[in-house]
Structure 1
């Protein structure tokens, strides 16, 4: 019994590790939002926040970008991260859209 239990535990840990790594790889390979995407156009998404049309989006203020938005799901140092506003597609951490909400 001991060897079966040990084998089961080792196998379980291996499978769990593989699933976790493949999920990370999938997230890293997720599609990136383009400015031509219909949702991106509707939300005024720009891959580079410094190029936001300030006349059209008066809510925009310098220093606002996806990397410091509460919706951004990447790490602070990640150049791209998932965003629920775009169905989990990746946005540039330097980007901006009208759904911007400052992280607490």
Structure 2
């Protein structure tokens, strides 16, 4: 099943968490969380992502939607092995 992409302009959860589709094109949280600085925080290395591959993946924070693997939001948490 193909889920729609989350739209930061219209999705209230995405707005409240300051989700951005391309983290490299925007200023992210400058605070270092765990061992990764803000410049290395992406959806693809976040613990909330629900798939190991794909440009767009389901995320537990955005039920019924997918997020960009290169995205970011305020709830980012480092995915550990």
TM-score under structure 1 normalisation? 0.64
Identify the residue that residue 98 of structure 1 maps to in structure 2. 74
Please state if 1:47 is matched with 2:34: no
**In angstroms, what is the RMSD of aligned CA positions?**
1.5
Q: Is the 8 A contact 1:52 1:96 kept in 2?
A: no
Question: Displacement of 1:89 after TM fit?
Answer: 1.1
- Pairs within 5 Å for 1:10-89: 26=1, 29-36=2-9, 37-54=11-28, 57-59=29-31, 61-75=38-52, 77-89=53-65
Name stretches of at least 5 consecutive residues in structure 2 with no aligned partner: 32-36
Q: Is the 8 A contact 1:46 1:96 kept in 2?
A: yes
Q: Is the 8 A contact 1:64 1:96 kept in 2?
A: yes
Q: Secondary structure at the match of 1:85?
A: coil
- Count of aligned residue pairs for this structure pair: 74
